[in-house]
Amino acid sequence: MGFQKAKASFLIKKEAASFLAGNRYDLLEWAGAFGDLGTLIPFVLAYITILKMDPAGLLFAFGLAKIITGFFYKTPIPIQPMKAIGIGSVAQPGGFTPAAVWGAGFFTGLVWLFLGLTGIIDRVAALAKKPVVHGIVLGLGLTFMVEGIRSMATNYFLAAVALIVAFTLLGNRKFPVMFLLLALGIGTSLAANPVLIVDLKKSIGLSLPQFTLARFTWPELVRGSLLLALPQVPLTLGNAVIAIVAENNELFPARRITEGKIAISTGLMNLLAPFFGGVPMCHGAGGMAGHVRFGARTGGALVILGSLVIVVALFFNHGVNILFQLFPPAILGVILFFAGAELALTAKPDSASRQEFYVTLVTAGFAMWNMGVAFVVGLLLNEALARGWVRF
């Protein structure tokens, strides 16, 4: 009996050690941790200011998901807001409630958990040939670059300075350029509005996430599922399943992942997040590119960022808007631009034929508009060219 207990204790300790090992928490991981702020901050602010969602629950769910993901995958696989749901819910002020967003997240969780556990997602992903996958990744990268340029247009001078700094020091492994970008942004914000730091100090106080089950209603669940969650599915398939798997396995071949595993983790975090007041989340490929571009090489970056997000959720709940004002859109745009460039680079074909590269370019063009349409068009065009039905 004693032997069995000792063996069980050893196995538990071994599993715990395996769970904790493999990540780094050095200067580069800290720098890379902030590489995803370009998408996180705008969506969180929109949810808080337009839908009046509680920052404590929203950020706590994000932080917890990031920490678990960092420990589990041990590569910089990001946690991002689902973009179609985010844009759809805030584009019509008064049109959707927080409960509808939670309903969309819960429905999304059921969909992806089902697709992952049944193996359906693996069969769907297997249809995507390499030129199609490269096209989706390239389209995503170009989309991020365009969005970054739009954000930079809010302050041309600040963006120009940040770009020069980034291009000059991006390859510096001793002093990551991310810290200079953040310092530049924070310094600019405080120079323009010195009272920000005073207001931020006044807002500090403990706030705990509220359990939201009592606020779920069937009408809002159905409305969020049909109007918000369903349009998100093809975008998640391309960006947060197929593209992230291709990107991770290209950058970290020793820690390969599968579409099924990503679908299951997407399902689980979206089933749990709504009960804390969290919003729909996914593993967006652009986020990994941002983490990697600025130094991250392990899941430690996600653990770092997740921990910081939880601190903000618990102690800066009433000052989130003030805190995020320290990061000007122009600086976030520069971060987003380089994340997009990094993502687009991973789509570079090694020895693609003219025909394959044509499929990649067409798929990328459609991916900048609609991920689901890009996937279907890419598959059809690739098959048509292979069979000789289409010539160019």
| pLDDT tens over the chain, length 392 residues | 454 444 434 433 444 444 456 899 999 999 999 999 999 999 999 999 889 899 999 999 999 999 999 999 999 999 999 998 998 888 865 678 899 999 999 999 999 999 999 999 999 988 888 899 999 999 999 999 999 999 999 999 999 999 999 999 887 778 899 999 999 999 999 999 999 999 999 888 888 888 877 677 888 889 999 989 998 998 899 889 999 999 999 999 999 999 999 999 999 999 999 988 999 999 999 999 999 999 999 999 999 999 999 999 999 988 999 999 999 999 999 999 999 999 998 887 767 788 889 999 999 999 998 888 898 999 999 989 888 887 77
User: What is the length of the chain?
Assistant: 392
State the first-to-last Cα distance of the chain, in angstroms, to the nearest integer: 73
b (16+ CB within 10 A) / e for 73-98: bbbbbbbbbbbbbbebbbeeeeebbb
CA 265/CA 282 separation, integer angstroms = 9
Distance CA 92, CA 89 (A): 7
Residue 236 corresponds to which tokens in the numbers above?
A: 């998640």
Plot region of 22 (φ>0 → left; ψ -120 to 50 → alpha; else → beta): left
Q: Which pTM was predicted?
A: 0.89
Q: What residues form DSSP beta bridges with 81?
A: 281
For 126, the 3-state DSSP assignment is helix
Distance CA 255, CA 67 (A): 18
Gap between the Cα atoms of 10 and 23, Å rounded: 22
